[in-house]
Amino acid sequence: MPSGKVHDRITLVGAVAAGAAWYFLAPPPKEPASCVALVGMTLFSGLMLSPDLDLHSSVYNRWGPLKFIWLPYQKLIPHRSPLSHSYLLGPLLRVVYFLFTGWLLLRLGTFIAAQFTNNINRGDITKQYTDGLLWLWNYHPIPVQYAAAGLILGTFLHVAADTIVTGVKRRF
């Protein structure tokens, strides 16, 4: 399969192509937020939320001090299984895992902070997180749809490249 660097380059080209396609083909109203959501999410999906988070990869290391959040994911999901390397289920699972882990970290962070100060309302803070997500979903549905398309595209480019290279290698 292609190296991490090749995957990164494919992601960059794919994100630029998606932006150009949006510019020429997207139906009105053309909210710039939709283009940002599409291009940004394609990049995030390919560079940060890549299927190769299911092993110790360059993408995993890119998370720096936060990379530990992907350890349970690596333990649970066999490398290149359909749970990570598929066109819809893979990115959907990763985004749910990512949002849930964010929520857990917020709960943990506010729990620790609450040991030192009484001025923290843990319920309020986590409610802001879930309310923020719901607000995006309810009030900005079109950019959210473009973000979903970017999420899928980022994974699609990765899985397609893996499949093509593996197929070619098998042949020769």
142's torsion region: left (phi>0), alpha (psi -120 to 50) or beta?
alpha
Please tell me what DSSP assigns to residue 28. S
Quote the least distance from Cβ 85 to Zn ion, whole Å. 6
Kind and range of the H or E element at 6? helix 4-25
Contact status: 31 vs Zn ion (CB under 5 A): no
Task: Identify the residue among 14, 52, 53, 156 touching Zn ion (CB under 5 A).
Answer: 52
- Name the segment binding Zn ion (CB under 5 A); options: 13-21, 108-116, 129-137, 157-165: 157-165
Residues 6+ apart with CB under 8 A from 22: 34, 35, 38, 39, 146
Compute CA distances 125 → 7, 110, 111, 130, whole Å: 37, 8, 11, 9
- Residue 64's φ and ψ, nearest 5 degrees, are 55, -130
d(CA 11, CA 129) in angstroms, rounded, equals 29
Site for Zn ion in 85-124 (CB under 5 A): none
**Nearer to Zn ion (CB atom), residue 34 or residue 45:** 45
Detail the DSSP E strand segments found in the chain: none
**Nearer to Zn ion (CB atom), residue 134 or residue 164:** 164
Contact status: 58 vs Zn ion (CB under 5 A): no
**Nearer to Zn ion (CB atom), residue 31 or residue 162:** 162
**Nearer to Zn ion (CB atom), residue 58 or residue 110:** 58
- Name the segment binding Zn ion (CB under 5 A); options: 20-28, 46-54, 124-132, 141-149: 46-54
The residue type of 131 is D
- Name the segment binding Zn ion (CB under 5 A); options: 49-57, 90-98, 99-107, 142-150: 49-57
- 3-state class (DSSP) for residue 78: coil
Quote the least distance from Cβ 136 to Zn ion, whole Å. 29
Contact status: 162 vs Zn ion (CB under 5 A): yes
Binding site for Zn ion (CB under 5 A): 51-52, 162
